[in-house]
Amino acid sequence: MTELRRDVDAVVVGAGFAGLYAHHRLRRLGLTLQGFEAAADVGGTWWWNRYPGARCDVESMDYSYSFSPELEQEWTWTERYAPQPEILRYAEHVADRFDLRRDIRFETRVTAATWDEAAQRWQVETDRGDRVSARFLIMATGCLSAAKEPEIDGIGSFRGRTLHTGRWPHEGVDLTGQRVGVIGTGSSGIQSIPLIAQQAAHLTVFQRTPNFTMPAKHAPLDPEAVNARKARAQEIRKAMRESRAGVIVPVPEHSALEVDDQARRARFEQAWETGTLYGMVAAFNDLLIDRDANETAAEFVRARIRETVADPDLAERLSPRNHPFGTKRPCLDSGYYATYNRDNVTLVDVRSNPIVAITPTGVRTTTDEHDLDVIVFATGFDAMTGPLLGPDITGAGGMKLRDKWAAGPRTYLGIATAGFPNLFTVTGPGSPSVLVNMLVAIEQHVDWVAGCIAYLHEHDLASIDATVEAEDRWVDHVNDVASYTLFPQANSWYMGANVPGKPRVFMPYIGGLPRYTETIDGVAADGYRGFTLTPATAPEREPSASQT
Ligand code: FAD
Ligand code: NAP
């Protein structure tokens, strides 16, 4: 274990892609750092999520760092959508190449952080009893890192094995000959179900909400195409940063309702064949804002389900009807719907036949007992706010982040929250984060934080804190933009709807990367408009400039 530094410029919490890049970028500024990571090594998402079939759904060559042209040239992805082990190897390679582990304490969870007004510093505590004083606190804790088990009676009584996709055992799990139940049909369920079905003696899928999923058209990468892409890497990366979702997708010109049935179908077929997450969503310009337009895409997907699933009743039960297409994160799959044609797979619709309890021998629904050896919870995460509210964070004047966010997260630009000076949330709620290619969002946020810290240093400023007025305006803007879309109509984790009691707020910013980047860069260019800056030399540490 690395030696603990008790007094540093910055504590970085998390060692996924965000934390790793924060170490690299802040070290280049000359900052002293102490990192903490609950996992035993780097990788974040890709360290924890080792379930069968786990892979990215943004193409590997896009889902990777752009900050180092050398790294980009030397690393070669082998598959269109890299599997989890390959992405984890990439994270490990980045950590080795840039020597990023040396300041990180692994298997150590940050449990509390308290702002010391007089010292203008954070006091950070961990579950190992560490106490570290830091000027800056960088929460690189991820949006999807707080795995969530379902609230089902008797969950602890099961005598077989329970697993969560987001906490999958590192030694792997042999499901051969087992009776397996999977609860959940989000991306994790949809990726793992086809592979579990191939191994298990019998697979029972407990589905609460059918999801829209599209075939990934997954394939090994052609080395020539990889080389051609590398030759244009810088140009492509620039275009990605300037794109709406951090990936290059043609911008649609037409409404789905202004073309005839034949033209619409042809366009959807073309989009379907791309095997990409954003292809279908971007087939027309109004799919996410007009319910009738959206219904044309939804019905196109349902028709594909009917074509694939032999039993019409089963096809209907797999067909999403409760939420507009694209308003829960769509999924990419490899053989998901065809899996239901197998003799050893049963679908239980728990909306019409709810799970009553987990029993010592399996799952009991209103009408049936399902005897199982293994239950897989593919039940997702306490997304976006969960990892930030895990530690007990106390800001200026003793304000608790948990209290401040009791009715939903409030941030300025998704990167800061008023009353919590010098605390930065990488891809926090109120930023594009989970709606875009996250590697692009992460680099953009970390670069901004580094620029901000450099500015504070150059201007001899001790701290920076968002003003409540600027934050209120930003929160209103985030809500306004979301309300213009169909997203709030879905009970999604974007809305906090998967966690009982969690406030229903659309958490990410859906205005797109270019608008967001222009705004946040403009804030910096204007001397951090909307922030209060406190000079390092002020004896009473009175704010010198309150720029709203
Ligand atoms: P994470 O990778 O989640 O890392 C955060 C780390 O912080 C974790 O390791 C966690 O242990 C640690 N941590 C949290 N709290 C504490 C604490 N209190 N103390 C110490 N450590 C703490 N996004 C895409 O854009 N494209 C994809 O294809 C894609 N695929 C995904 C597949 C899966 C299965 C999942 C779950 C998510 C996927 N995502 C994808 C989203 C993914 O989370 C991000 O792309 C990215 O990996 C996030 O990196 P991060 O460093 O911000 O967070
Ligand atoms: P998720 O999308 O939240 O899906 C969880 C599933 O569990 C949903 O089907 C949910 O049903 C169900 N569920 C939750 N609680 C339940 C209960 N008590 N009873 C019955 N069903 C219950 O979680 P996820 O699949 O882990 O994915 C989360 C996010 O991680 C994705 O949206 C994506 O951003 C990312 N991810 C990406 C990939 C990839 O392809 N690269 C893979 C995995 C994850 P309801 O819909 O009714 O709530």
Report the separation in Å between the CA atom of 142 and the middle of ligand 1, taken as the mean of its atom positions.
4
Q: Residue 336 in 3-state DSSP?
A: helix
Sign of CA dihedral 279, 281, 283, 285: negative
Tokens 């679908």 correspond to 347
**pLDDT (0 to 100) of residue 547:** 44
Question: What ligand 2 atom has the least distance to the C-alpha of 189?
Answer: 25
**pLDDT (0 to 100) of residue 255:** 98
Which secondary structure element, helix H or strand E, spans residue 125, and what is its range?
A: strand 121-126
Residue 544 has pLDDT above 80, yes or no: no
* Ligand 1 proximity of 442 Cβ (cutoff 6 Å): yes
Average pLDDT, integer, range 313-327? 97
Report the separation in Å between the CA atom of 7 and the middle of ligand 2, taken as the mean of its atom positions.
40
**pLDDT (0 to 100) of residue 539:** 47
* Ligand 1 proximity of 18 Cβ (cutoff 6 Å): yes
C-beta neighbour count of 176 within 10 angstroms: 9
- Report the percentage of the chain scoring pLDDT > 90: 97
Report the separation in Å between the CA atom of 145 and the middle of ligand 1, taken as the mean of its atom positions.
5
**pLDDT (0 to 100) of residue 537:** 74
Compute the distance between CA of residue 542 and CA of residue 548 in angstroms, rounded to an integer. 17
- Average pLDDT of the chain? 96
Q: For 252-308, write each residue's pLDDT tens digit.
A: 999 999 999 999 999 999 999 999 988 999 999 999 999 999 999 999 999 999 999
Report how far apart the first and last C-alpha atoms of the chain are (Å, whole number).
44
Residue 546 has pLDDT above 50, yes or no: no
Candidate of 438, 442, 446, 493 to mutate for ligand 1, largest count of ligand atoms within 8 Å of Cβ: 438
**Nearest protein CA to atom 28 of ligand 1, as residue:** 56
Cα separation values, 334 from 186, 208, 339, Å:
14, 21, 9
Q: Look at 123 and 3; give whichever has higher pLDDT.
A: 123
Report the separation in Å between the CA atom of 140 and the middle of ligand 1, taken as the mean of its atom positions.
9
Compute the distance between CA of residue 155 and CA of residue 364 in angstroms, rounded to an integer. 11
Structure tokens at 296: 């044309």
Count how many Cα atoms sit within 13 Å of the Cα of residue 220 in the half-sphere of its side chain.
4
Compute the distance between CA of residue 303 and CA of residue 191 in angstroms, rounded to an integer. 21
Q: For 157-187, write each residue's pLDDT tens digit.
A: 999 999 999 999 999 999 999 999 999 999 9
Compute the distance between CA of residue 235 and CA of residue 422 in angstroms, rounded to an integer. 34
- DSSP code of residue 494: G
Q: What lines the ligand 2 site, CB under 6 Å?
A: 56-57, 144, 150, 152, 165, 183-189, 191, 206, 208-209, 329, 332, 350, 355, 378-381, 434, 493, 498
**Nearest protein CA to atom 45 of ligand 2, as residue:** 209
Q: Residue 293 in 3-state DSSP?
A: helix
> Is the Cβ–Cβ distance between 44 and 50 less than 8 Å?
no
Question: What is the CA 6 to chain-centroid distance, rounded?
Answer: 31
Report the separation in Å between the CA atom of 148 and the middle of ligand 2, taken as the mean of its atom positions.
10
Residue 204 has pLDDT above 50, yes or no: yes
Where residue 538 falls among pLDDT bands split at 50, 70, 90?
low
Candidate of 498, 502, 507 to mutate for ligand 2, largest count of ligand atoms within 8 Å of Cβ: 498
> Is the Cβ–Cβ distance between 482 and 512 less than 8 Å?
no
Residue 548 has pLDDT above 50, yes or no: no
Question: What ligand 1 atom has the least distance to the C-alpha of 39?
Answer: 11
Q: For 217-263, write each residue's pLDDT tens digit.
A: 999 999 999 999 999 999 999 999 999 999 999 889 999 999 999 99
**pLDDT (0 to 100) of residue 1:** 60
> Is the Cβ–Cβ distance between 66 and 24 less than 8 Å?
no
**pLDDT (0 to 100) of residue 543:** 42
The torsion angle over the Cα atoms of residues 304, 80, 100 and 125, rounded to 10 degrees, is 10
In 3D space, the residue among 440, 367, 397 whose CA is nearest the CA of residue 62 turns out to be 440
In 3D space, the residue among 301, 49, 87 whose CA is nearest the CA of residue 192 turns out to be 49
Q: For 350-378, write each residue's pLDDT tens digit.
A: 999 999 999 999 999 999 999 999 999 99
Question: What ligand 2 atom has the least distance to the C-alpha of 55?
Answer: 41
> Is the Cβ–Cβ distance between 110 and 125 less than 8 Å?
yes
Q: Look at 3 and 525; give whichever has higher pLDDT.
A: 525
* Ligand 1 proximity of 437 Cβ (cutoff 6 Å): yes
In 3D space, the residue among 486, 515, 289 whose CA is nearest the CA of residue 413 turns out to be 515
